[in-house]
């Protein structure tokens, strides 16, 4: 109990002692022409100052004062005396009343209207309001008339250290590259203190690290945090927690403090090379693997992260550099070995590669540590696979003459099983490529024979596919294209290139070219076509026409004389023999028809018909056409007339059977017995043609017929 009582007394008297020590002299002695004072201090001081003021002579009335101070957070059994208002007009007769107005007057500050003592009646907080502006006035006690004009003064709240520093932005996070040198700046933090920064040391802060040493240090005044150890390694420890303290009162004992945390993360730098997980890798691959297939993967681990861990892979040595390649997988950070060229177990059964992994992004600060790369050996074993047969050639080209005999051999294909345990091969033709079955193949030796005759003029090329199948494993097959070219033989005689018809003018001249003809041959000789033209032996001495071979391999027919007459002979037939240059040569005879025509003086053909000479004199071709047109027109008119007349004479056809029956019902006659039966034929009703053309029979009274006609016409 005595210890607790002593602590309580210390807590109560410490603010008062501090105020007593730090409070300056509150009485400011004005010049001699001022006579009023405002004093502050203890009651004893106030009494002494009042006595001193009384004995002073003043030449002019007025207020003499300084600022008043009151200690914040002061709480005691009695209101705290802030100061005293006093005027030299007050002789002590208690005829003067002091009035206080302004900030907090009557609520926070209270004045004794007789003595002028000002007391703080509430606990003050400087952080809420640091000063108060009030107005003092002295008035006559009885009349309340101002003795002097009012005057303002300030009461300042004296700060005490009642606020601890605070880190408003904490907790903090910062990063610093790993391997940084000693003293590298990390970040800085800031604490705030609500106490008065200009009065005492209540707001003077000093920073220190409570936790996080020996890795980091802090500047006491600026709060700049730096690295305290060089070359901190992220791979060893990535994150650090630092506890920072800010203490006021300049860090001295008795000050208040606040703390915050700072999380420091070391960022990665490329300070580690890649390292293969193993120095030797083994892979096996079938020899028939498809090109581009991944054979295996190798991986070099890197303790760095992000782009600092990225590595590229290469094959730098080995006996399989031409057959294999390695690519980098950016996602998995490994190297993928792929096949570039086909493998052959029978040729080589294993390969050795030396692969390298190297960092892509090199940090020059650490390049002196050595090469940021690593190597490993890769062994690849080729496994035997059942491979399909292999043809001796990827394609075959065969030639055969079109007159080749059936079943003759036109060529041969060969294939072998590349496996060690070689299997016999059987050959066949893919009939989808030989729908007409023009060729056959020997299943054992691959000889291709002719099955049907060939005709080069119908098809020059035949493309078939040969299939080779292993006897031991029918699933192992291979295909090869075979192109067969049909060679030409001279088996077609030449003939006219077109159906020619020549016209000869009656008034033509001897030696005039009547027609030029050319020949064609379906064959295709190597040196091109060359034709020989001639007349039949019996036509060699033809008195009317002769032939002439032209340089362009064509033939001209010429007239030997003039004076041809259509009335004597209208048409001439000229047989021409055409021979080719083949071995053996072939020939054919083509006949040229030559018509004799009437021509104009300039040789334009006008008419080639001989009937023009037997027509009546004076009738031209135009007149004949006009007469023919008239005849056709008359025939059309006659046909139309006959057709219209026939339609006009057609009888009315009764199509409604009910009308006929109605006429029969209306027939109202007693009947004539047998005479009536003979006189009226019921078949007439069934034959509409007999209605209008009905004739009465002999022996029937005339009135009967008239009546019946009336009934039939509907008049009764």
Of the pLDDT bands very low, low, confident and very high (cuts 50, 70, 90), residue 647 is low
Task: Determine if the peptide bond prior to 584 is cis (ω within 30°).
Answer: yes
- Give the pLDDT confidence score for residue 391 in this predicted structure: 95
Asked whether residue 9 carries a pLDDT value surpassing 50, the answer given is no
CATH T-level fold of 172-267: Immunoglobulin-like (2.60.40)
Asked whether residue 479 carries a pLDDT value surpassing 60, the answer given is yes
Q: How much of the chain, in percent, has pLDDT values that exceed 70? A: 77
DSSP character for 445? T
- Give the pLDDT confidence score for residue 279 in this predicted structure: 93
Of the listed ranges 518-527, 554-563, 694-703, the least confidently predicted one is 694-703
The three-state secondary structure class of 652 is coil
The three-state secondary structure class of 621 is helix
pLDDT, one tens digit per residue, over 210-242 is 999 999 999 999 999 999 999 999 999 999 999
- Give the pLDDT confidence score for residue 370 in this predicted structure: 66
The CATH number fitting domain 390-487, selected from 2.60.40.60, 3.40.50.360, 3.40.50.10860, 3.40.1010.10: 2.60.40.60
Of the listed ranges 421-425, 608-612, 614-618, the least confidently predicted one is 614-618
Asked whether residue 2 carries a pLDDT value surpassing 80, the answer given is no
> Dihedral angle at the C-alpha atoms of 531, 535, 537, 538, nearest 10 degrees?
160
- Give the pLDDT confidence score for residue 449 in this predicted structure: 95
Of the pLDDT bands very low, low, confident and very high (cuts 50, 70, 90), residue 700 is very low
- Give the bridge partners for 105, in sequence order: 109
- Give the pLDDT confidence score for residue 618 in this predicted structure: 46
Of the pLDDT bands very low, low, confident and very high (cuts 50, 70, 90), residue 150 is confident
- Give the pLDDT confidence score for residue 412 in this predicted structure: 95
Of the pLDDT bands very low, low, confident and very high (cuts 50, 70, 90), residue 397 is very high
Residue, of 580 and 477, whose pLDDT is higher = 477
**Angle in degrees, CA 404, 410, 416, rounded to 5:** 170
- Give the pLDDT confidence score for residue 706 in this predicted structure: 46
Distance between CA 256 and CA 195 in Å, rounded? 11
Same fold? 275-383, 495-613: yes
Closest CA to 514 of 482, 545, 474: 545
Q: Per the CATH hierarchy, to which homologous superfamily does domain 275-383 belong?
A: Cadherins (2.60.40.60)
Of the pLDDT bands very low, low, confident and very high (cuts 50, 70, 90), residue 341 is very high
The three-state secondary structure class of 658 is helix
Of the pLDDT bands very low, low, confident and very high (cuts 50, 70, 90), residue 358 is very high
Plot region of 246 (φ>0 → left; ψ -120 to 50 → alpha; else → beta): beta
Distance between CA 58 and CA 71 in Å, rounded? 33
DSSP character for 105? B
Where would I find the H helices in 198-239?
none
Residue, of 188 and 130, whose pLDDT is higher = 188
- Give the pLDDT confidence score for residue 141 in this predicted structure: 84
Asked whether residue 360 carries a pLDDT value surpassing 60, the answer given is yes
- Give the pLDDT confidence score for residue 221 in this predicted structure: 92
Distance between CA 187 and CA 224 in Å, rounded? 6
Tokens of 60: 């002019």
| The 3-state secondary structure of 112-176, one letter per residue | CCCCCEEEECCCCCCCCCCEEEEEEEEEECCCCCECCCCEEEEEEEECCCCCCCECCCCCEEEEE
Query: Average model confidence (pLDDT) for the chain?
Result: 78
Of the pLDDT bands very low, low, confident and very high (cuts 50, 70, 90), residue 428 is very high
CATH of segment(s) 10-158 = 2.60.40.60
Asked whether residue 152 carries a pLDDT value surpassing 90, the answer given is no
Asked whether residue 37 carries a pLDDT value surpassing 50, the answer given is no
Is 538 within 8 Å of 575 (Cβ atoms)?
no
Of the listed ranges 46-50, 205-209, 252-256, the least confidently predicted one is 46-50
- Give the bridge partners for 461, in sequence order: 485
pLDDT, one tens digit per residue, over 245-266 is 999 888 888 889 999 999 999 9
Of the listed ranges 38-52, 413-427, 638-652, the least confidently predicted one is 38-52
Residue, of 316 and 689, whose pLDDT is higher = 316
pLDDT, one tens digit per residue, over 581-606 is 877 888 888 888 989 998 888 778 87
Is 515 within 8 Å of 592 (Cβ atoms)?
yes
Q: Provide the residue count of the chain.
A: 716
Q: What is the pTM of this model?
A: 0.47
Distance between CA 390 and CA 347 in Å, rounded? 15
Of the listed ranges 408-412, 537-541, 680-684, the least confidently predicted one is 680-684
pLDDT, one tens digit per residue, over 408-418 is 999 999 999 88
- Burial group, residue 446, by CB count within 10 angstroms (0-12, 13-18, 19+): buried
- Give the pLDDT confidence score for residue 552 in this predicted structure: 87
The domain limits of the chain are 10-158, 172-267, 275-383, 390-487, 495-613, 615-643, 657-713
CATH 2.60.40.60 fits 495-613, yes or no: yes
- Give the pLDDT confidence score for residue 54 in this predicted structure: 41
- Give the pLDDT confidence score for residue 604 in this predicted structure: 83
- Give the pLDDT confidence score for residue 91 in this predicted structure: 61
Of the pLDDT bands very low, low, confident and very high (cuts 50, 70, 90), residue 368 is low
Asked whether residue 716 carries a pLDDT value surpassing 80, the answer given is no
- Burial group, residue 693, by CB count within 10 angstroms (0-12, 13-18, 19+): exposed
Chain-centroid distance of CA 699 in Å reads 111
Closest CA to 363 of 214, 276, 234: 234
Closest CA to 210 of 186, 231, 241, 180: 241
């Amino acid at each position: 109990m005595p210890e607790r009582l002593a602590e309580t007394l210390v807590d109560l008297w410490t603010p008062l002692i501090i105020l007593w020590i730090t409070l300056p002299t509150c009485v400011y002695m004005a010049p001699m022409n001022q006579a009023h004072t405002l004093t502050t201090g203890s009651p004893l001081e106030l009494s002494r100052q009042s006595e001193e003021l009384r004995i002073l002579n003043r030449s002019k009335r007025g207020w003499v004062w300084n600022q008043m101070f009151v200690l914040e957070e002061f709480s005691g059994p009695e209101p705290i005396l802030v100061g005293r208002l006093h005027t030299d007009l007050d002789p002590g007769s208690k005829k003067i009343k002091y009035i206080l107005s302004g900030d907090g007057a009557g609520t926070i500050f209270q004045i004794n209207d007789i003595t002028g003592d000002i007391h703080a009646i509430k606990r003050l907080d400087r952080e809420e309001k640091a000063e108060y502006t009030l107005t003092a006035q002295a008035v006559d006690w009885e009349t309340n008339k101002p003795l002097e004009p009012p005057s303002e003064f300030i009461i300042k709240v004296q700060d005490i250290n009642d606020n601890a520093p605070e880190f408003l932005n904490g907790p903090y996070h910062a990063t610093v590259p790993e391997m940084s040198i000693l003293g590298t700046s990390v970040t800085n933090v800031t604490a705030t203190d609500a106490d008065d920064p200009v009065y005492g040391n209540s707001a003077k802060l000093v920073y220190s690290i409570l936790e996080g040493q020996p890795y980091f240090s802090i500047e006491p005044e600026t709060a700049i945090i730096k690295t305290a150890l060089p070359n901190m390694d992220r791979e060893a420890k990535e994150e650090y927690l630092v506890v920072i303290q800010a203490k006021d009162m300049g860090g001295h004992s008795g000050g208040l403090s606040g703390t915050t945390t700072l999380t420091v993360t070391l960022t990665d730098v490329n300070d580690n090379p890649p390292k293969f997980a193993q120095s030797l890798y083994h892979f096996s691959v079938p020899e028939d693997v498809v090109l581009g297939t991944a054979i295996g993967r190798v991986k070099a681990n890197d303790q760095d992260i992000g782009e600092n861990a990225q590595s590229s892979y290469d094959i730098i040595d080995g006996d399989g550099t031409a057959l294999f390649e390695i690519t980098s997988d950016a996602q998995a950070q490994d190297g993928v070995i792929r096949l570039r060229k086909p493998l052959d177990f029978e040729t080589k059964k294993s390969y050795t590669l030396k692969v390298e992994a190297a960092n892509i992004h090199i940090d020059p600060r650490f390049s002196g540590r050595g090469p940021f790369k690593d190597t490993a050996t890769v062994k690849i074993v080729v496994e035997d696979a059942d491979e399909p047969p292999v043809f001796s050639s990827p394609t075959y080209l065969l030639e055969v003459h079109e007159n080749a005999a059936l079943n003759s051999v036109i060529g041969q294909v060969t294939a072998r099983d590349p496996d060690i345990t070689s299997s016999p091969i059987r050959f066949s033709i893919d009939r989808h490529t030989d729908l007409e079955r023009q060729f056959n193949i020997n299943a054992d030796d691959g000889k291709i024979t002719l099955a049907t005759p060939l005709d080069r003029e119908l098809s020059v090329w035949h493309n078939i596919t040969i299939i080779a199948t292993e006897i031991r494993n029918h699933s192992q097959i291979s295909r090869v294209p075979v192109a067969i070219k049909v060679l030409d033989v001279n088996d077609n005689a030449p003939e006219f290139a077109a159906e020619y018809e020549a016209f000869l003018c009656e008034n033509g001249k001897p030696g005039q070219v009547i027609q030029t003809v050319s020949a064609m041959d379906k064959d295709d000789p190597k040196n091109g076509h060359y034709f020989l033209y001639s007349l039949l032996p019996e036509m060699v001495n033809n008195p009317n026409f002769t032939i002439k071979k032209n340089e362009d391999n064509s033939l001209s027919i010429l007239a030997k004389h003039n004076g041809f007459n259509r009335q004597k002979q209208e048409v001439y037939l000229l047989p021409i023999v055409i021979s080719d240059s083949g071995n053996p040569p072939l020939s054919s005879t083509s006949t040229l028809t030559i018509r004799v025509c009437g021509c104009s003086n300039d040789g334009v053909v006008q008419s080639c018909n001989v009937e023009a000479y037997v027509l009546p004199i004076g009738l031209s071709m135009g007149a004949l056409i006009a007469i023919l047109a008239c005849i056709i027109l008359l025939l059309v008119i006659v046909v139309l007339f006959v057709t219209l007349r026939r339609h006009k004479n057609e009888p009315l056809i009764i199509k409604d059977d009910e009308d006929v029956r109605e006429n029969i019902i209306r027939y109202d006659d007693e009947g004539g017995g047998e005479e009536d039966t003979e006189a009226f034929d019921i078949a007439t009703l069934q034959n509409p043609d007999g209605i209008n053309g009905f004739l009465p029979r002999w022996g029937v009274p005339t009135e009967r017929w008239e009546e019946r006609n009336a009934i039939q016409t509907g008049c009764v």
